[in-house]
Every structure is written in structure tokens, then in C-alpha cells.
Amino acid sequence: MVILSQISTFAIVSIIITVVLVVALGVLYFFGNKMQKKQTEQEELMKANSQTVSLLVIDKKKMKLKDAGLPKIVMEQTPKLMRRAKLPIVKVKAGPQIMNLIADSKIYDQILPKQEIKANVSGIYITSFKRVRGPVYEPPKKKSLLDRFKKQ
């Protein structure tokens, strides 16, 4: 009787844990799809509003939003969690004006200081670029842990 009682409590606890995990995975799947649709819409909107601008890259850094020297309205519109995160900031000269722009994290490593680029800019966000003179810089790929051990 005691063994039967222990088995049934173990079964009940494992069923409850399984049900909670299935519900949590279902909720995460639903919110993941919703966020992916929202991101796709935002990317389409940014592509529609982008314009090609000739820029001279002065400097680039990853810095916090409050230290980047961006307009106050940008700080007010960003969520509180993102205000502390470091963003890829590119200091550029567009004509006679010097300004700070936020680069897409995919292209940030390819942008080099002291180069002239033609960039697609949507507001204060650089989505893509091409170098005016010469090919685009491709940073060296990081070696995986497995590749490091294969050489030794």
C-alpha cells in the first residue's frame, strides 16, 4: 500500500510538470510567431523609408545609448531595458554635418573608419552599405573550439 502511494504521487507530480512544460512551450511558440511577424513588418517599413546617402565614416564604437549623443527623442522612445544595452554607433560626416548613426549589427564589423561609403539609411539606422572605392571589408571568421583542437 505504501509503495502504491509513492508511485501514484510520483506519477501525479511528473504529469503536472509535463503539463506545465507543454503549456509554457505553447505560449513561447505563440509569442515567438507574433514577434517574428512584427519584426518582418518593421523591416519592410524600414526598407520602404530608406534612402541612399553618401557618408564618410569617422569612427565606430559600441556604446550605451545615453553616451552615444543621439537625439533626446530616441532616448524617450526606447524601452528601458534597451537603454542600458550597448549599440553599434557609427560617427559619420554627411556633407558638412557630423552625426551619429546606429548600424545594423550584421554590417557593423564590415564598416571601417576613414572610408567613404554609400549607405541605405532609414532615419538614424544604417541598414546596408557599399564602399565607394574598393571591395567591402570581410572580417576574419572566428575559429570554433573544434577547429582549434584539430590543429594541435
Residue 48 falls in which region: left (phi positive, over 0), alpha (psi -120 to 50) or beta: alpha
pLDDT at 3: 56
User: How confident is the model over 33-71, as pLDDT tens digits?
Assistant: 999 999 999 889 888 888 999 999 999 999 988 888 888
What whole-number distance in Å separates Cα of residue 98 and Cα of residue 59?
Answer: 11
Q: How far apart are CA 78 and CA 102, in angstroms?
A: 13
Residue 28 has pLDDT above 70, yes or no: yes
Residue 137 has pLDDT above 80, yes or no: no
pLDDT over 70 for what percent of the chain?
93
Determine the topology of domain 52-131 in CATH.
OB fold (Dihydrolipoamide Acetyltransferase, E2P) (2.40.50)
The band of 2, judged by pLDDT with boundaries at 50, 70 and 90, is low
Q: Stretch 108-135: mean pLDDT, rounded?
A: 88
Q: What is the pTM of this model?
A: 0.68
- Residue 72, pLDDT > 90, answer no
Neighbouring residues of 111: CB distance < 8 A, sequence distance ≥ 6: 57, 60, 90, 103, 117, 126, 129, 137
CB 90 within 8 A of CB 17: no
- Decide: 111 and 90 in contact? Cβ < 8 Å: yes
**Mean pLDDT of the region 96-115:** 90
- Span 129-151, average pLDDT: 76
